[in-house]
Structure 1
Amino acid sequence: MVLHLYMFCCSCVDDSGTWGHGGMFDALARLSSQIPKAYERASEFGDLRLGDLHLLEITGEDEENKDGNDNLWVALAVVQTYNPRRKVPRSSISIPELEQCLSKASFSAAQKSASIHMPRIGHQNGSDRSEWYSVERLIRKYAALYGIKIYVYYFRRSS
């Protein structure tokens, strides 16, 4: 009997179509060069709308990543808008759209008996803890609703 363990790696993106640098962006690009390409392609086809969830299967087809990632999926949640004319071009995370994306990711993960792994969302510099608590409630809600495990990873930047 072969046991397949599936894992979904979930990250937030904006609707700009421009792949970022640093943090999760670099980690995902190292995982597979197809992730940034798929995100940019989605933008070219006008398919980056708030509330969209883009599921990408990591198949190990990348030469540099042939290490058995056959059961890994990446979920890109479009939960921010981008407008270069604003002083702060990227909007805050939209909680209603994040909820849509978490619902879609949780449903898909439950279909594959997968767990979801994600960075802590909505807690930038400690100034607005209420946003993180809203996100945390959503995570608990969808983990319970679909009977899946959702793991949140914390990363503290050095000062």
Structure 2
Amino acid sequence: MEGSYRKVSIHYVKGDATAPRTEGHAIITHICNDLGKWGRGFVLAISKRWKEPERQYKAWFTGNLRPQLGDVQFVTVTEALTVANIIGQHGVRSPRNKTAPAPVRYDSIREGLSLVADYAQEKSASIHMPRIGCGLAGGQWEEIEPIITGSVVSKGVEVFVYDLD
């Protein structure tokens, strides 16, 4: 057989997405809003482990070229670990206002994940995440999962989705 084919998929694991269980380079991927607000949800777990992703995310919003939906910021936290801040949420929704439209932006998540997949290919890395876009962003996993399959798994990159125990 010419060449080799390695089937990749989304792996669902119990545990903490900030502590990837893998060898080699890992990219922790999560969704951020387009306002520069950091302080609720999964970002708290990231900030508990490393200060740099939050610091760089906030700094990203102070310049003239502010991030747009679909942009990704790659923050190196160790030699073998990168955090990918994907701008995939337009604004924020107050926890008191459940009737407001969900801030999730599926097309922006698709764009961002495609960039993360390209980066993962360059680094021979795997991607690790919680169920992105489904918490504060208000998205549905039934919408997100096919986006991950189409923009990451289809490029031959392993994905690990973590659910807390």
Pairwise same-fold verdict (TM > 0.5): yes
Structure 1 stretches of 4+ moved >6 Å: 83-90
**Aligned counterpart, 1:154:** 163
1:31 paired with 2:40, answer no
TM, length-normalised to structure 1: 0.75
Given candidates 69, 88, 99, the residue that maps to 1:50 is 69
How many residues end up aligned between the 2 structures?
A: 139
**Equivalences for 1:100-111 in 2 at 5 Å?**
100-111=111-122
Is the 1:13–1:79 Cα contact (8 Å) retained in structure 2?
A: yes
Counterparts in 2 of 1:89 and 1:70: CA distance versus 1, 3 Å? farther
Counterparts in 2 of 1:83 and 1:28: CA distance versus 1, 3 Å? closer
Greater share of helix residues, 1 or 2?
1
TM, length-normalised to structure 2: 0.73
Counterparts in 2 of 1:137 and 1:87: CA distance versus 1, 3 Å? closer
Query: Within 2, Cα distance between the matches of 1:105 and 1:81?
Result: 19
Identity %: 25
CA apart distance, 1:155: 3.6
Counterpart code for 2:145: E
What is the aligned-residue RMSD (CA, Å)?
Answer: 2.8
CA apart distance, 1:78: 0.4
**Aligned counterpart, 2:131:** 120
What 5-or-longer segments of structure 2 have no aligned partner?
Answer: 1-22
Query: Relative contact order: is structure 1 or structure 2 higher (C-alpha 8 Å, sep ≥ 6)?
Result: 2
Is the 2:91–2:103 Cα contact (8 Å) retained in structure 1?
A: no
**Aligned counterpart, 1:7:** 26
Residues 52-79 of structure 1: CA deviation (Å, up to 9, x unaligned): 1111111xxxxxxxxxx31100000001
Counterparts in 2 of 1:116 and 1:90: CA distance versus 1, 3 Å? farther
Partner SS, residue 76 of structure 2: strand
